[in-house]
Homo-oligomer: A and B are copies of this chain.
Amino acid sequence: VPDPLPSWNAGVAKTSIVNFVQRVTTPGASFVPLEKRVAVFDNDGTLWPEQPLPTELLFMLSRIRALAPQHPQWRGEQPFESVIVGDVKALAASGKRGFAALATAAGTGMTTAQFDASAKAWLATATNTKLHCLYVRCTYRPMIEVLDYLRANGFTSYIVSGGTNDFIRAFAYDACKIPPNRVIGSTVETKYEMTPDGAVLVRLAKIGFVDDGPGKPEAIQREIGIRPIAAFGNSDGDRQMLEWTAAGQPALMVVVHHTDAVREYAYDRASKLAKLDLLLDEATAKNWTW
């Protein structure tokens, strides 16, 4: 049998994933039927990089800069000012609320189809300058191997991300074979309108749902309605998703810990954008995989 996870170093993490998949697919006490083999993956920092900044944020920044001349009031107003003058530190300090404000300003007042087209146009050329590749080609090979391995073993995998659902859908199938109907993300509210060209959905300047922290298990229950048996994350925003998974049996909880500053990025407890602190403690205490 060929190694299903050839990019993984031999060790506890690889062994625990392979052992888990063998247990739930082998008749016996831990067998899980196909329809319950649900796995959930955080996206930024788990399937692809979130450094130097999350990809969706970079997309928004490019749109905010393009829209700035039409919004003079953005000068002097954070997080917009930081984007216009290129102050990455101030931008990072604006945190999740700043992210939401930028998402609203950059991606609303247009139809869902227009947003999808604008995201795909940007993704077609946008490049990570450290890794020298298109963002959609920057996914982590070990994680793509896990997705393929789970798929081959009858799992249905979802992305459950703090990013917005329609942005993730613009690349998820191309980047890691996750189709739109298996993407759960943060949302902006939409408004249905009938036009002479037919029905459209207009993206409103109103955050619908923030899919982070306790929002992740809430969204998993609301949209999937099946408790996952495997969950993969990399920051404290994924903690409750792993806890919700751990409350069932059997269950596999995996934490991606970024420790390779040469080939990728190294960060954990001190990160402003994606802190891995409480989750690292919990994973250690509960003997989760990391």
Contacts and interface: CB of A to CB of B under 8 A. Distances in A.
A154 interface: no
Majority-rule SS of A interface residues: mixed
Contacts of A169: 225
Interface in A188-214: 189-192, 194, 197-201, 208, 214
A248 to B, nearest CB: 8
A179 interface: yes
B222 A187 contact: yes
B165 A222 contact: yes
A247 B201 CA distance: 11
Copies in the complex: 2
A38 interface: yes
A183 interface: yes
A226 interface: yes
Interface residues of A, number: 38
Interface stretch (A19-27, A76-84, A238-246): A238-246
Contacts of A112: 221
Given A180-B224, A221-B112, A240 B165 contact: no
Contacts of A223: 181, 223
A166 interface: yes
B190 A222 contact: yes
Given A165-B225, A199-B243, 15 more contacts: A35-B173, A35-B179, A179-B226, A181-B223, A181-B224, A190-B218, A191-B218, A192-B217, A198-B243, A198-B247, A199-B217, A199-B246, A200-B247, A201-B244, A223-B223
Of all A-B residue pairs in the complex, the 10 with the closest CB atoms, nearest first, are: A180-B225, A198-B247, A192-B214, A199-B243, A199-B247, A181-B224, A199-B244, A169-B225, A190-B218, A180-B226
